[in-house]
Amino acid sequence: MARRSRILASLEGKLGAVIRREVSKVLRRLKGQIGRRERELTALKAEFAKGMDLLRKRLTTGAAAARRRPRRRARQINWKKVFGSLPARFTLKTLAGHPVAGTRPKPHLYAVLSRWKKEGVLAKDSAGGYRKVGAKPPRKRKARRARPARVQKPAARPETPGA
């Protein structure tokens, strides 16, 4: 038994040296590749920096020469016309469906509604939504009174001559 373990130990020693040598070769190759890639990376970074500098210079000199086109603004809306075109009672959905005002985002429409409330031309509707202040609140329907029973008219009297 002892003899067998000595043989295994000697084999492991020889194999260990072979493995160590192969691993060190692989590590050296990897180290070389890493160095080469790092050099490529620094060259690419330098090229990138040159390009950015060139771009910055072109932007600063080109901006003065070329006339800048003004940013397009959204068309101004005549909110008085929009308010006039709305029904007496409406909701935000109605306002969002308006052909002119519907192009604006909802937060903008909420701001317009609150401005109208502040101006006193708009109020919250009890049925939900909003109503124009000039418009009367919806009347509650009164219960209909029962129709009075029809009274039959008396038969027509024959006319008597001389009476």
Q: Which domain holds residue 91?
A: 79-132
User: Minimum mean pLDDT among 64-68, 90-94, 120-124, 127-131: which range?
Assistant: 64-68
Q: For residue 8, is it within any domain?
A: yes
Q: For residue 141, is it within any domain?
A: no
Q: For residue 73, is it within any domain?
A: no
Task: For the full predicted model, state whether its pTM sits above 0.85.
Answer: no
Token output for 36: 């080469």
Which 8-state DSSP code applies to residue 78?
-
Contacts of 72 (CB under 8 A, 6+ apart): none
Confidence of residue 134 (pLDDT cuts 50, 70, 90): confident
- Mean pLDDT, residues 40-58: 91
Q: For residue 95, is it within any domain?
A: yes
Confidence of residue 19 (pLDDT cuts 50, 70, 90): confident
Q: 1 and 57 in one domain?
A: yes
Q: Are 92 and 104 in contact (CB under 8 A)?
A: no
Q: For residue 68, is it within any domain?
A: no
Token output for 50: 């040159």
Q: Which residue, chain included where needed, has tokens 């192009």?
A: 103
Per the model's pLDDT, the better-predicted residue between 5 and 79 turns out to be 79
The fraction of the chain above a pLDDT of 70, given in percent, is 85
Range 48-58 burial, b when 16+ CB lie within 10 A, else e: eeeeeeeeeee
